[in-house]
């Protein structure tokens, strides 16, 4: 690496003065300053909005040839009715075409296809490409925002972006620096843009927005910087904020009222404030960087909030509501209809942001409007999405040991709470204690990589991490815009010595129907199809097609780099295609590029497991597959 | 004067007197010569490690492991071994002496061009890093010479008296 040292903020002062500042002035800053700094800039558009119109997101998503929403549909099932590629012919798949993104960092997310155009976004610098599927994927337009490179180091865990959204003739991008921009889908011209929150305090953008009617739903990243999380609904016409609902804080910030319930009971006044010490909630995290789904009949949007800040639980006594929570909010007002906190007083960094899959499940002979969520904490939750009733919470990885399960007894005072195993709880004996053998690790039994739901098999296809950890918390100071973590973690493979399992799972019974073990975490999102074929990508870079019923491997192809992107499919000119972004990175790139250590190898041992870098290296590329011409 | 503030001032004096003159030099002989408050230094006054034959690490190096893993792992990977976007520090520290190290950490590094966008933030006002900068250096120095392997050090000497109190004070956290 060429070393070009820049004395950020120190140019005029010199190192000595900088260090003096570090030792003196900085000490005067207090945690309570954080919220002031974290407030979003005024919701103003930078320029008068152009008048761009087009079919709505819902209209385009109704066409099965398209992939018009980040999770395919607003129910986030990632189940495509396309069946040209099926379990009998998938072994004939071939690479149809490829596209280099020109960016080397981690490529999460998935492209969109609407009609004859594919849209995709790269990690920072967040270049958006529109490719003409009618003309050998010629680049119709590209858009690269101008962003301050200082946003790069405040992005926890790589500069990923999980995809653009479409709505009303526009492509919506949530940039790394937390600007949301709408581009004319025809030519890439900026229609409007607004700054949502300041990256200078560590608030960044990594999520794929969801467009519902005239609203763009967008969240915020920054749980490792003490950013007070929120979900915002922007008007798709001009970007102004219609409502903004925080994860923690006073009732008028978290948008709850007397009708808001948790497990059937009203949450009551000050439900969040009561669970924090003093003003800690202002730097309390609960960020909302995952996926959003929507039920058009109930007018409810669903999403989860992330870890409370800091990672040292001893510094924030209480349940820390509403971090680690599933929210169901009214799409028009933002007011929560119901909430459910999965991991009260988090002690493990088990963010609750993973996708909420809206599936109608047959349970005891009746069809239930369910919400299914595979949480980082290793439990698969089934709730009634209408009223938030808890139906089931089963472990979906056999190693999960921090809890013995959720208290399902409705008359118990602890109803709905996980039963925590003390020796695996880093808050139980205070700071400076190394809590060992905790499963899952902080990256969860599953992270953001989305699962898919096949209504035919009634099964969920889940890419998982089979990784455990040691966790040692200690005191940490808050400085706006600086990491606010406070724990040392060491991660290693789970039982059996491998780190990933791709599973077919029934969340109602808790049964794993089949499982494919993987040396490394399965960090690519799944795709289920009506052709009875399920697709996913591996960290070694393989695109895999498996039989939905049996898990039998039907096709495997090694793409140029490890896959942390989500497989998608579309139909063009009467032909079905399957596409995935390669480009290793993200959390997986941090822990796994160097290899995880073997805790049993002891001091001084070389001890690293076979490292991912022996299999793959950096490189952003889209690989598109199809069946050969007959 | 607390141990913490004394260490910080020692670091400042080191940078002011000898640091700039030895810009970008290799770190020299890591042999531990003297010790104060659990932290060892070499003949030039730079922080270093002191690992006994049975593998017991000194307190400073142990704290360095903890604070490295808290503040630096998300980019530089476990045990300083690098990630898909930040260098392997066990290698890099072979060529970076303490003054260069402290300058890079306090001021940050930018390598932004058409080929790459790599940015290390300036940690000068981050107490979680700067209160333990000497310890982090000792730890990475041990990693760079191979004196310390991967993972959490299995054994360390006990914490010196007053260490916790001094840490809280430097961090500005009421006990």
Peptide bond between residue A136 and the one before it cis (omega within 30 degrees of 0): no
Task: Report ipTM for this prediction.
Answer: 0.80
Q: Are B156 and B56 in contact (CB under 8 A)?
A: yes
Note whether residue A10 is domain-resident: no
Instruction: State whether A18 and B11 contact (CB < 8 Å).
Output: no
pLDDT of residue A413: 96
Q: Which residues from A are below 8 Å from B103, CB to CB?
A: 5, 15
Instruction: State whether A594 and B78 contact (CB < 8 Å).
Output: yes
Decide if pLDDT at A59 tops 70: yes
Decide if pLDDT at A498 tops 60: yes
**Ramachandran class of B49: left when φ > 0, alpha when ψ lies in -120 to 50, beta otherwise:** beta
The number of CA neighbours under 13 Å toward the Cβ of B140 is: 34
DSSP sequence for A558-625: E-SS---S--EEEEETTEEEEEEEE---HHHHHHHHS--B-TTS-TT---BPPPGGGT-----EEEEE
Q: Which residues from B are below 8 Å from A604, CB to CB?
A: 55, 148-149
Instruction: State whether B74 and A597 contact (CB < 8 Å).
Output: no
Note whether residue A25 is domain-resident: no
User: In terms of CA atoms, which chain B residue is nearest residue A123?
Assistant: B117
Q: Give A28's pLDDT tier (boundaries 50, 70, 90).
A: very low
Three-class DSSP category at A459: strand
Those residues with Cβ within 8 angstroms of residue A11's Cβ, 6 or more apart along the chain or in another chain: none
Decide if pLDDT at A278 tops 90: yes
* A558-614 pLDDT, tens digit each: 999 999 999 999 999 999 999 999 999 887 776 655 666 554 443 222 333 457 778
Note whether residue A379 is domain-resident: yes
Note whether residue A285 is domain-resident: yes
Average pLDDT (A606-630) is: 80
Instruction: State whether A483 and B83 contact (CB < 8 Å).
Output: no
- Cα dihedral sign, A77-A78-A83-A86: negative
The number of CA neighbours under 13 Å toward the Cβ of A598 is: 14
- By Cβ distance, the residue of B15, B112, B173 closest to A475 is B173
* A119-161 pLDDT, tens digit each: 999 999 999 999 999 999 999 999 999 999 899 888 866 899 9
The CATH number of the domain holding residue A430 is 2.140.10.10
pLDDT of residue B19: 38
In sequence order, what are the beta bridge partners of A230?
A246
Residue A112 CA, distance from chain mean position: 17
Q: Percent of chain A at pLDDT above 90?
A: 80
Instruction: State whether A597 and B79 contact (CB < 8 Å).
Output: yes
User: Is beta strand A138-143 parallel, antiparallel or unpaired with respect to A165-167?
Assistant: unpaired
* A86-105 pLDDT, tens digit each: 999 999 999 999 999 999 88
pLDDT of residue A478: 94
- Mind telling me how many Å the CA of B131 is from chain A's nearest CA? 8
The predicted model scores a pTM of: 0.89
Top residue of B61, B62, B78, B120 to mutate, by most chain A CBs within 10 Å, is B78
pLDDT of residue B3: 45
Helix (H) or strand (E) holding B140: helix B133-145
In sequence order, what are the beta bridge partners of A488?
A472
Note whether residue A24 is domain-resident: no
Query: Could you tell me the domains of chain B?
Result: 3-158 (1.10.760.10)
pLDDT 10s per residue in chain B (175 long)? Answer: 444 444 444 444 444 433 343 445 788 899 999 999 899 999 999 999 999 999 999 999 999 999 999 899 888 988 998 887 889 999 999 999 999 999 999 999 988 887 777 889 999 999 999 999 999 999 999 999 999 998 889 899 999 998 889 999 999 988 7
Q: Give A431's pLDDT tier (boundaries 50, 70, 90).
A: confident
Give the closest residue to A91 by CA, choosing from A542, A553, A579, A570: A553
**Residue keyed to tokens 């070393």:** A3
- Mind telling me how many Å the CA of B145 is from chain A's nearest CA? 12
Peptide bond between residue A310 and the one before it cis (omega within 30 degrees of 0): yes
pLDDT of residue A182: 98
* A33-46 pLDDT, tens digit each: 333 333 444 444 45
Query: How many angstroms separate the CA atoms of A205 and A138, rounded?
Result: 28
pLDDT of residue A403: 98
- Report the interhelical angle of B133-145 vs B98-107 (nearest 10°): 120
Average pLDDT (A293-311) is: 97
Count of domains for chain A: 1
Burial A513-534 (b: 16+ CB within 10 A, else e): bbbbebbbbbbbbbbbbbbbbb
Three-class DSSP category at A29: coil
Q: Give A48's pLDDT tier (boundaries 50, 70, 90).
A: low
* A178-234 pLDDT, tens digit each: 999 999 999 999 999 999 999 999 999 999 999 999 999 999 999 989 999 999 999
Q: Are A241 and A231 in contact (CB under 8 A)?
A: no
Decide if pLDDT at A492 tops 70: yes
Tokens standing for A411? 């008359």
Tokens standing for A282? 């202002």
- By Cβ distance, the residue of A7, A104, A477 closest to B173 is A477
**DSSP, res B19:** I
Q: Which residues from A are below 8 Å from B65, CB to CB?
A: 488
Instruction: State whether B125 and A602 contact (CB < 8 Å).
Output: no
Note whether residue A3 is domain-resident: no
Note whether residue A256 is domain-resident: yes
Tell me if residue A397 is catalytic. Answer: no
Three-class DSSP category at A231: strand
Note whether residue A8 is domain-resident: no
Residue-number span of the structural domain to which A509 is assigned: 37-626
Average pLDDT (A55-60) is: 97
């Amino acid at each position: 690496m060429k070393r070009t040292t820049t004395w950020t903020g120190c140019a005029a002062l010199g190192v000595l003065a900088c260090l003096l500042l570090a030792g003196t002035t900085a000490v005067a800053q207090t945690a309570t300053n954080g919220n002031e700094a974290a407030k979003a800039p005024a919701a103003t558009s930078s320029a008068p909005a152009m008048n761009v119109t087009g079919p709505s997101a819902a209209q385009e998503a109704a066409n099965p040839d398209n992939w018009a929403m980040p999770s395919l549909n607003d129910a986030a099932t990632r189940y495509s009715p396309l069946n040209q590629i099926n379990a009998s012919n998938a072994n004939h798949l071939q690479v149809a075409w490829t596209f280099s993104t020109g960016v080397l960092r981690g490529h999460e997310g998935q492209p969109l296809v609407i009609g004859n155009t594919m849209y995709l976004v790269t990690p920072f610098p967040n270049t958006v490409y529109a490719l003409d599927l009618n003309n050998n994927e010629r680049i119709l337009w590209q858009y690269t925002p101008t962003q301050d490179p200082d946003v790069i180091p405040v992005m926890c865990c790589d500069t990923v972006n999980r995809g653009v959204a479409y709505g009303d003739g526009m492509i919506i991008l949530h940039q790394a620096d937390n600007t949301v921009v709408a581009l004319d889908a025809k030519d890439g011209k900026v229609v409007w843009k607004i700054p949502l929150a300041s990256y200078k305090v560590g608030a960044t953008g990594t999520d794929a927005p969801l467009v519902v009617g005239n609203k763009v739903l967008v969240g915020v990243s920054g749980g490792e910087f003490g950013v007070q999380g929120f979900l915002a609904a922007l008007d798709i016409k001009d970007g102004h904020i219609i409502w903004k609902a925080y994860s923690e804080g006073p009732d008028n910030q978290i948008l709850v009222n007397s009708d808001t319930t948790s497990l059937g009971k009203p949450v009551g006044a000050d439900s969040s404030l009561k669970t924090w010490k003093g003003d800690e909630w202002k730097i309390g995290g609960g960020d909302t960087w995952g996926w959003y789904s929507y039920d058009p009949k109930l007018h409810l949007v669903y999403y989860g909030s992330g870890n409370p800040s800091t990672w040292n639980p001893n510094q924030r006594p209480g349940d820390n509501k509403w971090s680690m929570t599933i929210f169901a909010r009214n799409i028009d007002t933002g007011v929560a209809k119901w909430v459910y906190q999965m991991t009260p007083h988090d002690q493990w960094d088990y963010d609750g942001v993973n996708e909420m899959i809206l599936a109608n499940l047959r349970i005891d002979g009746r069809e239930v409007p369910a919400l299914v969520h595979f949480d980082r904490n290793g439990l698969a939750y089934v709730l009634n999405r209408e009223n938030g009733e808890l139906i089931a919470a089963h472990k979906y990885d056999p190693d999960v040991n921090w809890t013995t399960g959720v208290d399902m007894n409705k008359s118990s005072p602890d109803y709905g709470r996980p039963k925590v195993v003390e020796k695996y709880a880093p808050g139980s004996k205070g700071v400076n204690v190394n809590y060992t053998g905790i499963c899952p690790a902080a990256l969860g039994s599953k992270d953001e990589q989305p699962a898919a739901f096949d209504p035919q098999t009634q099964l969920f296809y889940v890419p998982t991490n089979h990784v455990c950890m040691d966790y040692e918390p200690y005191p940490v100071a808050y400085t706006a815009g600086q990491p606010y973590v406070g724990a040392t973690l060491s991660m290693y493979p789970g039982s059996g010595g491998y780190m990933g399992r791709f599973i077919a799972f029934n969340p109602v019974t808790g049964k794993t129907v089949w499982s494919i073990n993987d040396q490394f975490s399965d960090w690519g999102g799944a795709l289920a199809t009506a052709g009875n074929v399920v697709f996913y990508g591996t960290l070694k870079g393989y695109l895999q097609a498996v039989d939905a019923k049996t898990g039998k491997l039907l096709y495997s192809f090694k793409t140029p780099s490890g896959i942390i992107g989500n497989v998608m499919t579309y139909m063009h000119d009467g032909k079905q295609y399957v596409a995935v972004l390669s480009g290793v990175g993200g959390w997986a790139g941090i822990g796994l590029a160097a290899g995880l250590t073997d805790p049993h190898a002891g001091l001084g041992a070389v001890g690293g497991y076979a490292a991912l870098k022996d299999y793959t290296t950096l490189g952003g590329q889209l690989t598109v597959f199809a069946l050969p011409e007959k | 004067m607390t141990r913490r503030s004394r260490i910080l001032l020692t670091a400042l004096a080191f940078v002011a007197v000898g640091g700039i003159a030895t810009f970008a030099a290799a770190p020299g002989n890591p042999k531990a010569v003297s010790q104060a408050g659990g932290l060892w230094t070499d003949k030039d006054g730079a922080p270093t490690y002191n690992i006994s034959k049975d593998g017991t690490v000194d307190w400073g190096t142990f704290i360095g492991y903890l604070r490295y893993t808290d503040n630096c792992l998300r980019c530089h990977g476990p045990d300083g071994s690098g990630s898909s976007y930040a260098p392997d520090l066990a290698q890099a520290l072979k060529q970076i002496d303490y003054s260069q190290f402290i300058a890079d950490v306090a001021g940050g590094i930018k390598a932004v061009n058409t080929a790459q966008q790599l940015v290390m933030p300036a940690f000068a006002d981050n107490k979680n890093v700067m209160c333990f900068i000497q310890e982090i250096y000792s730890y990475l120095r041990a990693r760079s010479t191979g004196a310390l392997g991967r993972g959490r050090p299995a054994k360390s000497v006990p914490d010196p008296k007053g260490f916790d109190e001094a840490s809280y004070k430097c961090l500005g956290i009421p006990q």
